[in-house]
Amino acid sequence: MFSGSPRSFWLDSSLVEPGRSRFSFLGDDQGPLAEFVRYDVGAGRCEIERAGRPMRRVRASVFDYLKRQLSNRRVDATGLPFDFTGGYVGYFGYEMKADCGSSNRHRSPAPDAAWLFADRVIAVDHEAGYTYAVCLAEDTPQAAREAADWLEGVLAGLSCVAAERPPLPGEPAPADPGAAEPWLVRDRATYIADIEACRRALRSGTSYEVCLTNAARLPAPPDALEFYRTLRRDNPAPYAAFLRFGELEVAGSSPERFLRIGRDGTAEARPVKGTAPRGDGPEEDARLRDALASDAKTRAENLMIVDLLRNDLGQVCRTGTVRVSKLMATETYATVHQLVSTVEGRLRAGTDAVDCVRACFPGGSMTGAPKLRTLEIIDSLETEARGVYSGALGYFGCGGGADLSIVIRTAVFADGLMHLGAGGAIVLGSDPDAEYEEMLLKTAAPMRALHRHTADRMRQQGPPGQKAGAAGEARR
């Protein structure tokens, strides 16, 4: 319904988890209230586009702009079971840290933040089996008629959706953790040297934990949406997403919630720190899962990030409400086991979802601790901007709620290239070779999806021809 739009979104609970990922949301920029906000953190300026109007430039942080707009467009949607009933969908890139107290050494070619105001949304309730069409409109007779027409058209379109799903393809081939290695921005020797530099900083006492990352850059497949459909099938995740924002597209299968803020002011973070591969059989899989849960080094990583998030939430939450409801639980996904904690709090009066995100950004699981000093260490070692990767992606609803993931296990498409970021936390107990292998492991899911998507496309095209060259290049 929205794939033909130049700007559209799919916040996709492709792996439904009770209490965490029940709803999916889809929409585009075709509504009468829709606007697209692009932000350059270096210039401190938002560019706002609305259909039929000249571009408007606002000298303000995108945090301040979103906060003001959401306040002006506040609606009461308490009759629905989900918080997103219209609002902004998009991302904050990692370099937004410059608006959160840390300077930037590197500049991203992508917008530092991009947000689409969606006034028409389809919401899918995977638990109850219902689909909702939601329309946010101005309180005028003309707007009411347009809203009714849109709802009628959407319901007619939804009635044509097949009730039965087609059979899914067979099980995907095992993930190859080394598939991205030829495409890395910093090779093995350089990355291991950077790990040693992190360890020197740790020994000197300037940091306790450094989240070091790398990136792979390779030719992009021609259809990012079809790639995403392969990714979500092979590696379903509770916070999966696809964004099409003009020339920039994002396809992710994130297992990590950054923050969820309810309409009642409750805030929840679910930091992931600690990753192990899946085993070849049930016994090996259980052994790897148990080893992750009991590993002292991994538990130290997780604990430091939990403490960091308690501090971050403490800046905006009522005294005494911040608590750790779940500490270091193991969760299993298609290619990895993860160690996950849950930190909760209740926002102070006069504080909203944008304030909470700003106080906690960037997510501690992508930085290390103490945050500001460690961000400086990261900038001195990494050779380019992280961009969308390591940032946050999701929605701010007009009813006051928000839900954002950490942008990991995600492919970013721009200028004919596919960008994959991956990394891991470096602590004193880190083994450089093991850290390098863990970094590669985190690229395995999108790389497997790329190979499968390319193979499927080649089969559909028949014998190799002129169009097969790019696919062959991407497989190399």
Contact between 3 and 110 (Cβ < 8 Å): no
DSSP string, 352-403: -HHHHHHHHPSPGGGTEESHHHHHHHHHHH--S--TTTTSEEEEEETTS-EE
User: Which residues have C-beta within 8 Å of that of residue 353, sequence separation ≥ 6?
Assistant: 70, 261, 396, 400, 401, 402
Spell out the alpha helix ranges (H) of 222-352. 224-234, 282-294, 296-314
**Cα–Cα distance between 37 and 118 in angstroms, integer?**
12
Orientation angle between helical segments 444-461 and 224-234, nearest 10 degrees: 120
Q: Sign of torsion, CA 308 314 320 324?
A: negative
Neighbours of 300 (CB within 10 A): 18
Query: Phi and psi for 398 in degrees, rounded to 5?
Result: -70, -15
**Cα–Cα distance between 324 and 319 in angstroms, integer?**
14
Q: Go through 395-433 and write b for each residue having 16 or more CB atoms within 10 A of its CB, e for each that does not.
A: bbbbbbbbbbbbbbbbbbbbeeebbbbbbbbbbeebebe
Q: Sign of torsion, CA 140 146 147 149?
A: positive
Contact between 97 and 10 (Cβ < 8 Å): no
What residues are paired with 118 via a beta bridge? 87
Tokens linked to 406: 């950490």
Contact between 95 and 9 (Cβ < 8 Å): no
Q: Sign of torsion, CA 464 466 468 474?
A: positive
467 is catalytic: no
| Choice among 35, 209, 249, 256 that is catalytic | 256
Max CA separation in the chain (angstroms): 67
256 is catalytic: yes
| Choice among 67, 97, 273, 371 that is catalytic | 273
- Residue 255 DSSP one-character state: -
| Angstrom distances, CA of residue 157 to CA of 84, 162, 301, 387 | 21, 11, 48, 36
Q: Active-site residue numbers? A: 256, 273
